[in-house]
Amino acid sequence: MFWITNFFLSLLAILVTIPCLVLLLECLAAVLLTPPRGENKTNPNLQISVLIPAHNEASGIEQTLLPLIPQVKNSQDILVVADNCTDATAEIARQTGVSVIERSNETERGKGYALDYGLQHLATINPDIVVLVDADCQVSPGTIEKIAQLSWSTGNPVQVTYLMEKPSQPSAKDLISALAFLVKNQVRILGVSNLGLPCPLQGTGMAFPFSLLKQVSLNSGNIVEDMQLGIDLALQGHPTLFYPDGRVISVLPQETATAKTQRTRWEHGHLKTLITQVPRLLQGAISQKSFALFACALDLAIPPLSFLVLLWLLVTFVSLLGIILGLSSLIPLVLLGLAGSSILLSIVLSWAKFARDEISLVTLLKIPFYILWKIPIYFSFLWRREEKWIRTERN
């Protein structure tokens, strides 16, 4: 009985420790290494289209479009897909001078369907590069041209830094949520990029050769269509590159219920993708003899930070119980000590390098309360998994 229990707990400890060590490696690479820089050829005649899926975005679509228009040769190069809108999204977008098409389908709802509809329209134009931007984002000046040229010169997708701006009067939960988002969307991606490895797609601020998008299908209600698209393209030999100097900014929802809905969609989609796509990436890494795909699998195997902490706490508790009952050795606990230290060091390094000016050390001490707030989200994944794309309400 001892050997069986000890083996089982050691295996659990290893499965928890591996993503924690990968997380630490990515954060260390972000803090200690510099991104590789190379000269890329440019094409002054590059035809770029910006595709923006929008559902009931009348209150903010103009603020998204106005900074984008100076970044393209012609305002008509921006295409807004007003998808199942019941407000004035299409009318307001047209007033800015961009191209607008409308889609209505009561059964097929979701960002993926809207993107697919827009890409079908762009097929008549056949641009060189398509840049995808969400309708609630602000894109920093010069970003569109830079990522389009990089995507064209390499033939690969390109992702910019995508961050969440804090609300005007942020609570401690807002600040911690912004920190978690920063670790996932900036620190970790910068780390894998500094190591010369592919990064995941993040849903907005993404450039693609149009020829690549013709090879994949977005026509689905997948709630994390960006993650799936990045995986599909990586398996086809087109890993995503990171362009850290570009910025796309959105705003965290301030209403508690809205924030919870957004988080539920993100994290249920992340966990589902982790379960289904890590084995697929590992299989691809073996069959293609590709270390890049193996690295993608390890990166995807890192669950959301709060879930990782909860998993670590649960396995640590069970391991301690096994030692007390004489059913386990110290080996699982030693491994879990290494895992816990890796999580803590990753968070502290990320905060000290990228967020200490905006988030106080005192705020970090409230992270346990933030994790408690997230517990119902993870329990609901077991019996009431979010499967539908739901628009995040704006404040």
> Average pLDDT, whole number, for the chain?
88
- How far is C-alpha 61 from the chain's CA centre? 22
pTM: 0.88
Backbone angles phi, psi at 251, to 5 degrees: -120, 135
Per domain, the residue ranges of the chain are 2-32+284-383, 49-254
Mean pLDDT along residues 256-278: 76
pLDDT of residue 259: 56
| pLDDT over 90 percentage in the chain | 63
pLDDT of residue 386 exceeding 80: no
Distances 384 to 107, 343, 377, 393 between C-alpha atoms, Å = 21, 28, 10, 21
Backbone angles phi, psi at 357, to 5 degrees: -75, -20
Instruction: Classify burial at 20, counting beta carbons within 10 Å of its beta carbon; exposed 0-12, middle 13-18, buried 19 or more.
Output: buried
Say how far apart CA 28 and CA 242 lie, in whole Å.
17
pLDDT of residue 332 exceeding 90: yes
Lowest mean pLDDT among 109-113, 183-187, 375-379: 375-379
pLDDT in tens, 145-178: 999 999 999 999 999 999 988 777 788 888 888 8
The verdict on domain 49-254 having CATH code 3.90.550.10 is yes
DSSP E strands in the chain: the ranges are 48-54, 78-83, 99-103, 129-132, 138-139, 158-165, 206-209, 241-251
pLDDT of residue 248: 94
Angle, CA of 167, 168 and 171, to the nearest 5°: 60
User: What is the band of 277 on the pLDDT scale with cuts at 50, 70, 90?
Assistant: very high
Angle, CA of 23, 19 and 198, to the nearest 5°: 60
Mean pLDDT along residues 97-108: 90
Q: Are 102 and 90 in contact (CB under 8 A)?
A: yes
